[in-house]
Amino acid sequence: MKKSTKKTRSAGKRKPISPGEMERPGSHSLEVKYVLRLYINGSTLKSTLAVENIKQVCEQHLNGRYDLEIIDICLQANLARDEQIVAVPTLIKRLPRPLRRLIGDLSDQNKVLFGLDLKIRE
């Protein structure tokens, strides 16, 4: 499995999804690769917080197996339209399935982990 430590990358480039990832939806297995997109608005407090928070989560829980892209819609309103962004910040978990949106500055780490299927509700 190809490991990626890249935290940001340009939009448009898509990683091919391997069949193994598709077969285990909702898994918090250590094997699965995460594709995350964080939509922010410039350098507002919420956006800055969200970037810090997601980076922290990724480092702690998804070390080496995530692909995070941070998109500033302030300059690219079309991207917001394409992804149906209403609330900011919004984190979209493209992979693993199912697709999930987390809105807010990601400061409630428990909720973030639930949302990313990295923690099972007790």
Partner 1 sequence: MTQKQKARQPSSKTLPKASTGIQGLDEITGGGLPNGRPTLVSGGAGSGKTLFGLEFLVRGATQYNEPGVFMSFEETIPDLTQNAASLGFDLDRLVAEKKLFLDHVHISRSEIAETGEYDLDGLFIRIADAVQRVGARRIVLDTIEALFGEMPNPGILRAEIRRLFDWLKQKKLTTVITAERDRPDKLTRHGIEEFVSDCVIVLDHRIREEISTRRLRVVKYRGSTHGTNEYPFLIDEHGISVLPISSLGLDHAASAIRVSTGIDRLDGMMGGKGFYQGSSILLSGTSGTGKTSVAAHFVDAACRRGERCLYFAFEESPRQVVRNMRSIGIDLEPWVRKGLLQFHAARPTYGGIEEVLLVTHKHISSFQPSIVVVDPITNLLMVSTLNEVRSMLTRLVDFLKTKEITAIFTSLTAAGGSLEASEADVSSLMDTWLLLKAIEVGGERNRALYVLKSRGMEHSNQIREFVLTNDGLRMLDVYLGPEGVLTGSARVSQEMREKAVVTFRQQEQETRRRELERKRQIFEARMTMLRAEFEVEEETIQQSISESKLLAEEVLQDRGQMVRSREADTSAYKKVGGTPAARKR
Which residues form the interface with partner 1 (CB under 8 A)? Answer: 39, 41, 44, 46, 49-50, 53, 73-74, 77-78, 80-81, 84-91, 98-108, 111-112, 114-115
Least distance between partner 1 and beta carbon 86 (Å): 5
Give the Cα separation of 117 and 62 in Å (integer): 11
- β-pairing, 66-72 vs 90-95, is unpaired
Q: Which amino acid is at 78?
A: N
Least distance between partner 1 and beta carbon 3 (Å): 27
Given the complex with partner 1, which of 17 and 113 has the nearer CB atom? 113
C-alpha distance from residue 109 to each of 2, 22, 104 (Å): 27, 26, 11
The answer for residues whose C-beta is within 8 angstroms of residue 107's C-beta and 6 or more apart is: 49, 53
Least distance between partner 1 and beta carbon 1 (Å): 27
Least distance between partner 1 and beta carbon 2 (Å): 28
Determine the straight-line distance between the first and last CA of the chain, rounded to whole angstroms: 31
Give the Cα separation of 50 and 73 in Å (integer): 14
Given the complex with partner 1, which of 21 and 117 has the nearer CB atom? 117
Given the complex with partner 1, which of 32 and 112 has the nearer CB atom? 112
Given the complex with partner 1, which of 31 and 59 has the nearer CB atom? 59
